[in-house]
Amino acid sequence: MKLSKILIKRLKEATKYAYAPYSKVQVGALLYCSDGKIYTGANIENSSYSLTMCAERVALFKGVSEGARDFSLLLLYSPQYDFIIPCGACLQVLSEIAPEILIVTMNKDEEFKFFPLHTLLKKPFKIRS
């Protein structure tokens, strides 16, 4: 799969908005919808670590808050970490809102690794009805 230079540029731009004074790890996320809409996010840390928000959920919540639901691709990048993947909390949220999403992670050389969500989160939490 070849990702467009425009998507890569938008992803790297999003990463610049990270607020990461504690970890020093900047993360950018780009969500691509089947209708071509794009939502970006960056990680936002807080001294009360549990209140930190990952880039993936920032992008996802931006999209959901604007009515988007048909997410097809999540692209991630960190200049400090090769092929960063979502944390467990992000995977859980993605499993509910975008269970069929393809997660693509990129390194500094613009090389990619591809992960269908179900390969990273084998058994998501679900409330039984």
Q: What is the CATH number of the domain that holds 21?
A: 3.40.140.10
| Strands laid side by side in the 38-42 sheet | 38-42, 28-33, 71-77, 102-106, 112-116
- Model confidence pLDDT, tens digit, residues 85-114: 999 999 999 999 999 999 999 999 999 999
Structurally, how many domains does the chain consist of?
A: 1
| pLDDT bracket for residue 69 (50, 70, 90) | very high
Helix or strand holding residue 20 (H, E): none
How open is the CA angle 13-103-66, to the nearest 5 degrees?
Answer: 65
- Residue 129 placed within a domain: no
Q: Which of 56, 66, 110, 111 is catalytic?
A: 56
* Residue 37: inside a domain: yes
Q: Give the pTM.
A: 0.94
Tokens linked to 17: 């908005």
Where in the sequence is the domain holding 101, given as residue range(s)? 5-120
User: Alpha carbon 59 to chain centroid distance?
Assistant: 7
Cα–Cα distance for residue pair 86/91, rounded to 1 Å: 6
In a domain, 127, yes or no: no
* 56 tagged catalytic: yes
